[in-house]
């Protein structure tokens, strides 16, 4: 039974509907092209409808049937996470010689902005529509001291669908005091369709010659290492099942890959995800230096998805474009520091097509 029927495919302008928990849900797309749904609770990508090689449409983004679960078991599903995506060891860092302590989760570290990160907030939204792009612009103010981060931070996230079957996330932020910023979207994808099973048959390629080894708490444990000869060599497409059969991937991937090339204002290819069963093909391009690949090995069926299927291990894969984990405490990594007078900018584009 389809518990969550797809929205109508609409041209423009974006359609806004009230939502008891999420505040607002916005639906947007061009006729015959991608259709996206965004909830303002957590600036969250809640759905994305994409055709397969036969023209059959499916929602390829995981989300709970009950939106209230985004406060608990499905907290990060599709959300904009920050101020600092990924982990900061023990929630501690120093900035200009001043120590700071962030809120921490159960493992004693700060993850995705702390106990009350951007994923929990109700964002303000407005529609955007041009001949080539349609979607929403989301705004949030994070006050000085929020979760322990210094400085008032004004954040803008645009989520736009393009006529060429692209979904674009563009992030911008300014501050009135030195602070840290590292933003990403935390969507889980299954290109066979949300609730269709696991993603082990998908093929994944990542444009990275190095990766970040981690300890048992998923905190970086040393310098970046070459992927050559390891379970993290995804420079050529490989089925996720085959990749996870390699030694060193117990529990699946939850690791940062060091992208090459990266930097500058032009998005570069970071990864390609392909589902042979449907022909859906997703190219990930980003301006960010890192890609956190998480294959959802810890999913245990607790979350009931939109289509009525409980999400088990490997129900989706997250490809989080971002700075490196714990970079505030790793001087050799790209700096996440934002200062007054400067502007944080980041862009990620998901480009969809089909293959025979």
Positions annotated as catalytic residues are 186, 320
User: 267 vs 45, 107, 262, 275, CA distance in Å?
Assistant: 20, 34, 8, 23
- Tokens 């928990």 locate to 21
Residues in the chain: 356
Chain centroid to Cα 105, Å, comes to: 19
User: CA-CA distance, 311 to 319, in Å (whole number)?
Assistant: 18
User: 197 vs 69, 94, 239, 252, CA distance in Å?
Assistant: 20, 44, 15, 16
CB 14 within 8 A of CB 129: yes
N-term to C-term CA, the chain: 29
Q: Look up residue 71 and give its two tokens.
A: 């406060």
User: CA-CA distance, 122 to 114, in Å (whole number)?
Assistant: 16
DSSP-assigned letter for residue 71 = G
- Phi/psi at 235 (nearest 5 deg)? -70, -20
Angle, CA of 325, 211 and 338, to the nearest 5°:
35
User: CA-CA distance, 332 to 334, in Å (whole number)?
Assistant: 7
Half-sphere exposure of 39 (CA within 13 A, CB side): 25
- Quote helix, strand, coil % in the chain, to nearest 5: 5, 40, 50
Residue 236 burial class via C-beta count within 10 angstroms: exposed 0-12, middle 13-18, buried 19 and up: exposed
User: CA-CA distance, 204 to 10, in Å (whole number)?
Assistant: 31
Comparing CA positions, the residue from 129, 139, 96 lying closest to residue 29 is 129
């Amino acid at each position: 039974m389809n518990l969550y029927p797809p929205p109508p495919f609409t041209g423009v302008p974006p359609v806004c509907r009230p939502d008891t928990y999420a505040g607002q849900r916005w639906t947007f797309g061009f006729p015959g092209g991608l259709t996206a749904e965004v909830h303002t609770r957590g600036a969250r990508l809640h759905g994305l409808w994409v055709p397969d090689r036969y023209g059959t449409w499916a929602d390829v983004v995981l989300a709970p049937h009950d939106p209230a679960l985004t406060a608990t078991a499905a907290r990060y599903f599709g959300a904009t996470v920050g101020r600092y995506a990924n982990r900061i060891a023990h929630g501690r860092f120093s900035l200009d010689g001043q120590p700071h302590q962030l809120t921490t989760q159960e493992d004693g570290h700060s993850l995705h902005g702390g106990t009350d990160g951007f994923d929990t907030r109700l964002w303000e939204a407005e529609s955007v529509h041009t001949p080539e792009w349609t979607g929403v612009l989301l705004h949030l103010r994070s006050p000085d001291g929020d979760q322990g981060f210094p400085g008032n931070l004004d954040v803008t996230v645009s989520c736009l669908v393009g006529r060429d079957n692209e979904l674009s996330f563009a992030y911008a932020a300014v501050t009135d005091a030195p602070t840290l910023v590292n933003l990403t979207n935390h969507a889980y994808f299954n290109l066979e369709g949300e609730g269709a099973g696991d993603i082990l048959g998908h093929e994944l390629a990542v444009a990275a010659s190095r990766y970040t080894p981690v300890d048992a708490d998923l905190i970086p444990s040393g310098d970046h290492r070459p992927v050559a000869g390891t379970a993290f060599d995804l420079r050529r497409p490989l089925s996720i099942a085959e990749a996870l059969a390699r030694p060193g991937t117990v529990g699946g991937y939850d690791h940062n890959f060091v992208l090459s090339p990266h930097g500058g204002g032009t998005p570069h290819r970071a990864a390609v995800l392909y589902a042979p069963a449907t022909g859906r093909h997703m190219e990930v391009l980003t301006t960010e230096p890192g890609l956190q690949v998480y294959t959802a090995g810890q999913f245990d069926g607790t979350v009931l998805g939109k289509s009525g299927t409980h999400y088990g291990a490997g129900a989706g894969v997250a490809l989080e474009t971002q700075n490196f984990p714990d970079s505030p405490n790793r001087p050799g990594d790209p700096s996440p520091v934002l200062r007054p007078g400067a502007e944080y900018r980041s862009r990620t584009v998901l480009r969809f097509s089909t293959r025979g």
